[in-house]
Structures are given as C-alpha cells and as structure tokens.
Amino acid sequence: MSSLFYLARRFKTATALNLFGLTVAFAAFYLFMTQVLYNAGYNRGIPDAERLFRVEAKMNLDAPWDVNCNRPVLEMMMQLPEVEAGTIVPRWGWMQEVYQGETPVECAAAKIHGESSLLPFGAECLDGKLTWEAPAEGVIIPSSLAKRFFDTTMAAGRYLRVGEDSVRVMGVYRDFPENCFLMNAIYSSMGEENHNNYSEWSYNGYLLLHAAVDAEAFRAEFKERVKATFRKVVMAEQADEYDKLNAEERAEWDQQIEDYFGRLDFRLTPLTETYFSGVNPSDTGNRTVHLILIWACVVILLVAAINFLNFTLAESPMRVRGVNTRRVLGEQASTLRLNLIAETVATALSAFILSLGVIYLLSQWPAIAELFSSDISLVNHLPLVGWTAAIAVLIGITAGTYPAFFVTSFQPALALKGSFGLTPKGRQLRTALVALQVFISLILVIYIGILYLQSHFIYHSDYGFDKDELLYSQLSDELKGKKDAVRAELMQMGGVEDVAYSNVVLGSQPKYMGWGRGDGDKAVSFTCFPVDWRYLRTMGIKIIEGRDFNEHDSDCYIINRAARERWSWVEMDKELTNGDLPVVGVCENMRYGSVHQDRAADPVAFVILGERYKDWGDRLDILNVRLARNSNKVELRHQIEDKLREMGDGSEVGVRFLDQQLENLYQEEFRFIHQVLLFSVICLIITLIGVFCLTLFETEYRRKEIGIRKVFGSTEEEILLLLSRRYVAIILGCFVLAAPIAWYIGHQWLQSFAERTSIHWWLFPVALAAVSFITLATVCIQGWRAATENPVNSIKTE
C-alpha cells in the first residue's frame, strides 16, 4: 500500500482525476439506474399487476387505439366469467380546491365506478369502506390526504370543506405507489351517469382476470367474446321486440350487430406494459428511451472500468522494481498479487464511498431531482446501493488482476535492472485502450450533437402556429361573462394585435376532445377544438383552402390538411358527413401533441359551436392574446394581468407564454434529452480523464527519449509533433469506425420521434475537430512539460 501512496503523491493530478472519474461514474450509474428501475417497475407495485389489464378500443378501424370506451360495453366486459373484478374511471379527472383552515389546497379528484371502486387494484381500506351504495355517501381519500387534513388515517365520517360545501369522507385507502398510473385522488362515485349511453366514449376500463385464466388466449378472443356478450345482453334487453321479428328481420338485426362490431375493435393491454404503449397521454414511458438508459448505465461503468484499468496498467511499470525488490527479500508472488488487487479494490471502494456523498448532495439539489422522474434518495434504493458497491469491488478486481500478474511476471533479478514503461506489449495494450477511449468519445460527441440538433428542432421548428407571439389565460366565471369588454380593453393596449377565445390551450396537453361523426364509408373521428371566429388568425394558423371563420359563422368547421387529405369527399360549405356541420375552410397542419406521435398528421377540426350545441353552454374560457413581434412581451404580460385582475374580482390572474407551455408539454422529452446529455458529458469527461492520465504516464515514460532527442537537436515543437502524431493516427482510425456507429445509434433514437431533425454531415467533422482538439491539447500540455525540461535531467531518468 505504501508504494500506492507513493505513486499517488508522485502523480497527484492523475490519481485525483482517476478517483474523480470513478466517483462520477458510480454516482451517474446509481442515478440512471433509479430511472431504469422506475420505468421497469411502473405499475408493478399494484397488487396482482400481472393479472390486471387495461381495455383499449378503436372507434373506427382507421382510428388509433385509444383507452376510451363507452360505459355499457365496459360493464359487459366486467361480467365475463374470466374477469374476477373490473372497474371504470371517467376519462377526465380534475383539480379540487380543498380548504385546510382558510387555505385552499389543490387536490386531484376523479370519479370511479361505485360498486367496483378501486378494489381490482387491491386498494387497502384503512378506515370506513371503499365502495358506494349511493353516490351521496361521500368520497374516499388516500391516506396521505387523510393525514394532511385530519392528522390521522382514521378519517371515515369526517368532512372535507370544498368551497362552500362539506363532503363526507366515506373511506380511507392506503396510498398507491408513486410510480403507477393510479392517482392518489379524492374519488367520488360516478353513480348512474351514462349507464346506458353507447355513444359517450369517455370511460376507461380495467379488468382483473382470474388467476387460473390463460390470459393470452383470452386476449386473443377478447373482441369476439365482447361481441357475443353484447349480442346476448342486447337481445335480453330487447327480447320482446326480437321475438316479434321474422327471420329476415332477425338476420338484418344480426347484421346490424356485425356492422357495429365490424367498425370497432377492442383489446386488453397488460397494466405492466401500458407505460410504454403510448396509447394514453399518461403512458409517458418510451421503450427506446428505457433501453438507451440501460445502455447508458452499462456504458458508463464500462468507460469507468476501462479508465481504471488504463490507470493501473499505466502505473504498473513503475511498480515493477519496488514489487520485485520485495520478492528478492522473500515475499511470495501470490501474496504480492493479492496485495496489488486489494489496493485497486480499496481505490474503487473509496470512489464508491465518495459517490454516496455526491449522490446525497445531488439529491438535495432540485435541478438534479427534476431531471429524474424517480426518487433518487439513497435510503429508498438500498439494494441498488449494495449492487453498486458490488460492482465497485468487481471493477477493482478486474482493474487489479492483469497489472498484478504483469508486475510479478518478471524474473526478480531482471526486474531490478531496468525500466518497463516501454515494453512493446505494454505499449500496445495502452495504445489499444487509448484508442477505445477515443472511439467512445467520438461516438458520444456525435451523439450529443444529434441530441442537440433534435432538441433545437423541437424548440424551433414550425409548429403551424406562432407560438412565440402568444399569451393565454384561463378566464374566471366573472371574466367569462365580460369577454367582449375584456377583448375591447386588451385591444387598446399597444402591442396587442388580436384576442380570441377557445376551449383549450393548443399544445397544453398530449390529447384533446375526440369527436366521432357519420357512419359507413363516411364515419370519421377527429380531434375537435371549439373556438371563436378570430381564433385561427390570432394563432397565426394558415388557411390553405376555402376561407377563415368570420363573425357571422356558427355551427361550422375548419378542418386541417390531414383531414382534407383523408376525407376525399369533403367540399367547401358542404356538410362534413351526413347531417353534420358544414366545412368552410381548410387550414395547415399543426403540431399540438407529443413529439413521439405524429399528431400533426391526425385529422383536426376547429368548430364554432352555435345553435346546435347551445346545451353545452359557453365553453370558450381560454383567452388567447397575440402580441406584436417586437413588443415588450414581459411588460405586456404584466399589463394584461393587471387589467384582468382589475376587471375580475380583484384576485390574481395568471397569464402565461404559450411557448413556455409547450416546453412543459415536452417535459418528458426534454428530461430524457437532458438525461442523455448529462450521461454523455459524464462519459466524455471520464474518457478525457483517461486520455489525460494516459498521456501523463506516456510522457513520463518517454521523458528520457525526449531528452535524448533534444540533446541531438530536436526542438520543443518537434517533440510535441512527435507525441501528437501517434494520437492523430489513433483519432483518425477511431473516427472511421465511430462515425457510422454513432450515426446508427442517433438514427435509431430519432426514429422514436414523429418529427425529427436530419443528421447533418457537418456534425461529423465538428465532432472530429472537437475530440482532436481536446485530446491533442491534453497531449500538448503534458508533452510541453517534458519537451521544455532540461534534457540533462531527463537522460538521467532510468
């Protein structure tokens, strides 16, 4: 160990950097693994998760799979004998203001099937009961909420204050794990709503199959089983009428069912796989991303291990004499080998312990915590901590074994005589390892470039509307009643170009209201945005056919290019489908959903709700404001907030920038990009540390050679050229291999995006220049010291 400390003191920088590299690698491995475990364990914390399935449906065969279904069909599915239990949740949840004293607290709230409630998910009842006999019985709340509001989980029978009302707590359930789709929300019974409504496709269904059921076989015949049940139920409901039908009419009746199911499709997706399915907006997992993260963990350890091996290999020639002196004095070679391996294991474990400190500090840093959807605290991942320690030991053994055998492989008498730094075998091995490091660096730099390009593309590509010039705000009920006055006031402000109202904020969520209209060949399903007549011009959405809405329009559509191309029968100022609203124009496609799904190519219709939808009331409660391109947007935003507060009830009104909202929408994408960026930068730093350490040792070993060359007339520049030339050859060789591999990895990653950047050719020479510059700068900085040293001192080196 004393010789280890001697070398550590002699090569302080290299030792410190090597320890730093290992520490960073262990910390990064831990952090990325928490995310991997989070992704892999999503929904698996729910009891019997492997028997739980989500119902997915297609309203039309050409529509994408969706989680929405109608309630009666879902209830039929729940009656199938293979189903042990099932439940139904309406599509929409909401945020509920619950008062704690006088302070309103925003809590998630949702409705649920009263009789089944959360039972299929193995919800544990801590107090009261979790199923309803009547909706009026109250609500069920999670244990965390019960503790927060009542300081106990035994809160059944107590009351929550919601606005002016009090709501009785009927039961308390234990919180579900964080990484599952279930919200720890306040649930109320959905009662009988839409009990028999086959046209309201706004419900999500979940089925728990019996343990003995062959799930794969059941899934394969699921649609047919639903159809058979549907036929049986409908026949039972209409038995009197059916009995009166003649054979021909019965055949027609049967055909109607066939036609109905001919347009529909159903399937069951295991709950353990929904996270990666992307069918629902909450399915935020991405399998490509998941696999990349797993590879990131492997690569980061590999890079660190190579680095450590490089380091121990590079310093081992310096230990030959010391170790073999011990052999001459009587020490066993096996004991010396064990000691050498123990030293590297101790170094790796020291780095592991340091990494725990780093992880602890990082977990206290909000920016890092935000980078991962998982909890990164050490106490919640003790098995992972143990595995990381085991890996540290393994890396220590791996990095120590070869050098231990190398150092003890010489005849002691011979070993005492000379220098072993430049044995051809050792030099070749180190060259190979440097080449591997440079190879990995080049792949990473190119990959970082592709990440950056895609990130830039997401931020700056054309969305189909002028996201940078727009502000929006949710109107209170009071302001909603003064829309014309609000518009008039805002239009008087310098810098405000237009004002419009809509039902939702474009780009605020991955999915929006879906409408299905028509039947037969003209059955259509599309995303529908209720808006006012000024909306498209305010947003900067371009009209490509027909005309924009005008102030006289009511009950009419403007569809997007994708819809126009899909529905060939559409004519301007004619009904979209039989009995539906007329289409007055066609607009350009927009990007308004996830970047992983090609929503821009999905059919969209903007609609002005008029007489036909008067029962819906005024749904346009989003204020959209278009600002002049060169206006002071921050100042205008404050002015609009002040004006809205003044015109409303005096409470604060939030006005937001639309481009910031879009960034929130792509949070998962950016989170991943930032994760991979972080990983790549870490790998790059570790790799460069490796190159730095190796060049340091290399120049140390070549000091004498450099001295001799100088004695015979070489200048410093010629020495640097000599040292660099080898690295230039290594870099160029590695580039030839790394460029296609990096291109392939980047290309594969980009495939997960619906809209993606192209991989520009200039990325490759830039990456080559960057890696060459950093590597050669490192070599030159190290080499300069040796090159400017007095050769008298160098040639004395033995």
Partner 1 sequence: MIKLKNIKKVFRTDMVETTALGGINMEVKDGEFVAIMGPSGCGKSTLLNILGLLDNPTEGEYWLDNVEVGKLKERQRTLTRRGQIGFVFQSFNLIDELTVEQNIELPLKYLGVPAAERKERVEEIMRRMAISHRAQHYPQQLSGGQQQRVAIARAVVVKPKLVLADEPTGNLDTKNGREVMELLSQLNAEGTTVVMVTHSQRDAAYATRTINLLDGMVVEKTQL
Does 321 interact with partner 1 (rule: CB under 8 A)? Answer: no
- Residue 211, judged by CB atoms within 10 A of its CB (0-12, 13-18, 19+), counts as exposed
Give whichever of 366 and 424 is closer to partner 1, judged by the CB atom: 424
Does 678 interact with partner 1 (rule: CB under 8 A)? Answer: no
Give whichever of 227 and 704 is closer to partner 1, judged by the CB atom: 704
Does 792 interact with partner 1 (rule: CB under 8 A)? Answer: yes
Cβ at position 717, least distance to partner 1 in Å = 9
Instruction: Look at the alpha carbons of 316, 320, 321, 322 in this order and tell me if their dihedral is positive or negative.
Output: positive
Query: Which residue in the set 288, 631, 714, 752 belongs to the binding site for partner 1 (CB under 8 A)?
Result: 714
Cβ at position 424, least distance to partner 1 in Å = 8
Please, which of residues 427-456 interact with partner 1 by CB under 8 A?
Answer: 427
Stretch that binds partner 1, among 102-110, 368-376, 456-464, 715-723 (CB under 8 A): 715-723
Does 716 interact with partner 1 (rule: CB under 8 A)? Answer: yes
By CB under 8 A, how many residues form the interface with partner 1? 22
Give whichever of 426 and 746 is closer to partner 1, judged by the CB atom: 426
Stretch that binds partner 1, among 66-74, 284-292, 566-574, 711-719 (CB under 8 A): 711-719
Phi, psi of 321 (to 5 degrees): -65, -45
Compute the distance between CA of residue 440 and CA of residue 626 in angstroms, rounded to an integer. Answer: 48
Please, which of residues 107-166 interact with partner 1 by CB under 8 A?
Answer: none
Cβ at position 713, least distance to partner 1 in Å = 4
Cβ at position 722, least distance to partner 1 in Å = 11
Give whichever of 211 and 792 is closer to partner 1, judged by the CB atom: 792
Concatenated DSSP letters of 393-426? HHHHHHHHHHHHHHHTSS-HHHHTTS--TT-HHH
Give whichever of 92 and 712 is closer to partner 1, judged by the CB atom: 712
Contacts of 186 (CB under 8 A, 6+ apart): 96, 98, 107, 108, 109, 110, 139, 140, 141, 145, 160, 167
Give whichever of 421 and 464 is closer to partner 1, judged by the CB atom: 421
Cβ at position 718, least distance to partner 1 in Å = 7
Cβ at position 302, least distance to partner 1 in Å = 30
Cβ at position 703, least distance to partner 1 in Å = 12
Compute the distance between CA of residue 676 and CA of residue 32 in angstroms, rounded to an integer. Answer: 9
Compute the distance between CA of residue 426 and CA of residue 650 in angstroms, rounded to an integer. Answer: 78
Cβ at position 431, least distance to partner 1 in Å = 12
> Six-digit token pair at 265?
């499709």
Give whichever of 523 and 795 is closer to partner 1, judged by the CB atom: 795
Radius of gyration for the alpha carbons in the chain, expressed in angstroms and rounded? 34
Cβ at position 711, least distance to partner 1 in Å = 5
Phi, psi of 246 (to 5 degrees): -85, 175
Give whichever of 246 and 790 is closer to partner 1, judged by the CB atom: 790
Compute the distance between CA of residue 55 and CA of residue 66 in angstroms, rounded to an integer. Answer: 9
Give whichever of 423 and 455 is closer to partner 1, judged by the CB atom: 423
Stretch that binds partner 1, among 9-17, 688-696, 726-734, 788-796 (CB under 8 A): 788-796
Query: Which residue in the set 8, 83, 228, 795 belongs to the binding site for partner 1 (CB under 8 A)?
Result: 795
Does 425 interact with partner 1 (rule: CB under 8 A)? Answer: no
Cβ at position 684, least distance to partner 1 in Å = 31
DSSP strand pairing (83-90 vs 656-657):
unpaired
Concatenated DSSP letters of 459-481? HHS--SS-GGGEEEEEPPHHHHT
Stretch that binds partner 1, among 16-24, 157-165, 198-206, 710-718 (CB under 8 A): 710-718
Stretch that binds partner 1, among 70-78, 199-207, 583-591, 714-722 (CB under 8 A): 714-722
Query: Which residue in the set 248, 366, 713, 736 belongs to the binding site for partner 1 (CB under 8 A)?
Result: 713
Does 788 interact with partner 1 (rule: CB under 8 A)? Answer: yes
Give whichever of 285 and 317 is closer to partner 1, judged by the CB atom: 317
Does 754 interact with partner 1 (rule: CB under 8 A)? Answer: no
Concatenated DSSP letters of 536-565? HHHHTPPEEEE----TT--SEEEEEHHHHH
Please state the separation of Cα 286 from the chain's center in Å.
Answer: 7
C-beta separation of 311 from 14 below 8 A: yes
Contacts of 28 (CB under 8 A, 6+ apart): 300, 678, 679, 682
The DSSP call for residue 216 is: H
Does 227 interact with partner 1 (rule: CB under 8 A)? Answer: no
From 351, 328, 215, select the one nearest 270 (Cα to Cα). 215
3-state helix, strand, coil in the chain (%, to 5): 55, 15, 30
Query: Which residue in the set 198, 628, 718, 744 belongs to the binding site for partner 1 (CB under 8 A)?
Result: 718
Cβ at position 421, least distance to partner 1 in Å = 10
C-beta separation of 6 from 321 below 8 A: no
Q: Count the neighbouring beta carbons within 10 Å of the beta carbon of residue 612.
A: 12
Could you give the angle at which helices 2-10 and 12-40 cross, rounded to 10 degrees?
100
Cβ at position 672, least distance to partner 1 in Å = 48
Cβ at position 795, least distance to partner 1 in Å = 5
User: What's the length of the chain?
Assistant: 798
**SS3 of residue 132 by DSSP:** coil
Please state the separation of Cα 85 from the chain's center in Å.
Answer: 32
Stretch that binds partner 1, among 258-266, 268-276, 545-553, 785-793 (CB under 8 A): 785-793
Give the containing element (helix H, strand E) for 182. Answer: none
Does 239 interact with partner 1 (rule: CB under 8 A)? Answer: no
Does 704 interact with partner 1 (rule: CB under 8 A)? Answer: yes
Alpha-helical segments (H) within 702-754: 703-711, 716-750
DSSP strand pairing (574-575 vs 496-502):
unpaired
Query: Which residue in the set 705, 721, 745, 785 belongs to the binding site for partner 1 (CB under 8 A)?
Result: 705
Does 424 interact with partner 1 (rule: CB under 8 A)? Answer: yes
Cβ at position 418, least distance to partner 1 in Å = 9
Compute the distance between CA of residue 94 and CA of residue 667 in angstroms, rounded to an integer. Answer: 21
The DSSP call for residue 492 is: T
Alpha-helical segments (H) within 329-381: 333-363, 366-371
Please, which of residues 171-210 interact with partner 1 by CB under 8 A?
Answer: none
Query: Which residue in the set 353, 390, 485, 711 belongs to the binding site for partner 1 (CB under 8 A)?
Result: 711
Does 741 interact with partner 1 (rule: CB under 8 A)? Answer: no
Does 709 interact with partner 1 (rule: CB under 8 A)? Answer: yes
Does 413 interact with partner 1 (rule: CB under 8 A)? Answer: no
> Six-digit token pair at 243?
């009995």
**Terminal Cα distance for the chain, rounded:** 23
Cβ at position 411, least distance to partner 1 in Å = 15
Stretch that binds partner 1, among 214-222, 241-249, 422-430, 556-564 (CB under 8 A): 422-430
Does 389 interact with partner 1 (rule: CB under 8 A)? Answer: no
Residues that bind partner 1 (CB under 8 A): 422, 424, 427, 704-705, 707-716, 718, 788, 790-792, 795, 798
